[in-house]
A and B are shown apart, each in its own frame.
Chain A
Amino acid sequence: EAGVAQSPRYKIIEKRQSVAFWCNPISGHATLYWYQQILGQGPKLLIQFQNNGVVDDSQLPKDRFSAERLKGVDSTLKIQPAKLEDSAVYLCASSLDPGTGFQGGYTFGSGTRLTVV
């Protein structure tokens, strides 16, 4: 089974620019998550989708971050405008459903490393 695909792998932008990341989850996985992993820290959940609806976006900085999951499959995460502190690895993960995710069914992508200069 193909894994969770993310692109690009790396991105360098200047502060105040905008950037978008793309995630293609495992086929059939209804639940999709975006995590932010700052260097030296564990991943922090930004947003969770169930199909194309948002389940939890309580930790998403909504003044600059947005995410969508049209048609309940692929998802994009956007930052506009970017700040220096947004430099991090952005990880996408998916699971069949939240319950399966809790039983170890999360699959993570390799992430997009964002550097804001």
Chain B
Amino acid sequence: GEDVEQSLFLSVREGDSSVINCTYTDSSSTYLYWYKQEPGAGLQLLTYIFSNMDMKQDQRLTVLLNKKDKHLSLRIADTQTGDSAIYFCAIGSYNFNKFYFGSGTKLNVKP
């Protein structure tokens, strides 16, 4: 199987940038994703990156991929209290047609 690791908690002040990190083991990963989960809600896809890309930017979100180190990060610029949620990294293994999720990072944004 795939190992996907995330730190459990991150606390930032409103207006600061947040950086959530993820490491994985499967080198055959094709797509790498960031999902957001608010309390009592399902998973919402925020963004994804194809494995031949190093960076993807989408408004306040920047995804960085370091394939050599198998490290994925999500940067949220100008973090707002509405960004408080759990963020999951997920890795798509096309060869095995499987998704692997990390255990999630709980982001707490203080006003």
The residues of A with any CB-CB pair to B shorter than 8 Å are 4, 40-45, 48, 55-56, 91, 93, 98, 101-104, 106, 108-111
Q: Mark B39-50, 1 if CB is under 8 A from A, else 0.
A: 011111101100
| B4 lies within 8 A of chain A by Cβ | yes
Interface of A is mostly: mixed
Contacts of A104 in B (CB 8 A): 31, 33, 45, 47-48
**Distance to closest chain A CB from B58 (angstroms):** 11
Query: Beyond the given A4-B42, A55-B97, could you list 11 further A-B residue pairs with CB under 8 A, ordered by the A residue number?
Result: A42-B4, A42-B90, A43-B88, A43-B101, A44-B101, A48-B97, A91-B43, A106-B43, A106-B99, A109-B42, A110-B42
Contact (Cβ within 8 A) A108 B42: yes
Contact (Cβ within 8 A) B101 A110: no
Contacts of A111 in B (CB 8 A): 42
Given known contacts A102-B94, A104-B48, A41 and B103 CB-to-CB distance under 8 angstroms: yes
Contact (Cβ within 8 A) A106 B94: no
Given known contacts A40-B103, A91-B42, A98 and B48 CB-to-CB distance under 8 angstroms: no
Which chain A residue lies CB-closest to B44? A108
Residues 23 to 46 of chain B near chain A (Cβ within 8 Å): 30-31, 33, 40-45
The residues of B with any CB-CB pair to A shorter than 8 Å are 4, 30-31, 33, 40-45, 47-48, 88, 90, 92, 94, 97-104
Contact (Cβ within 8 A) B98 A110: no
**Distance to closest chain A CB from B107 (angstroms):** 15
**Distance to closest chain A CB from B42 (angstroms):** 4
Contacts of B41 in A (CB 8 A): 110
Contacts of B99 in A (CB 8 A): 45, 101, 106
**Distance to closest chain A CB from B88 (angstroms):** 5
**Distance to closest chain B CB from A11 (angstroms):** 14
Contact (Cβ within 8 A) B48 A56: no
**Distance to closest chain B CB from A104 (angstroms):** 5
How far apart are the CA atoms of A103 and B94 in the complex, in Å? 11
**Distance to closest chain B CB from A74 (angstroms):** 17
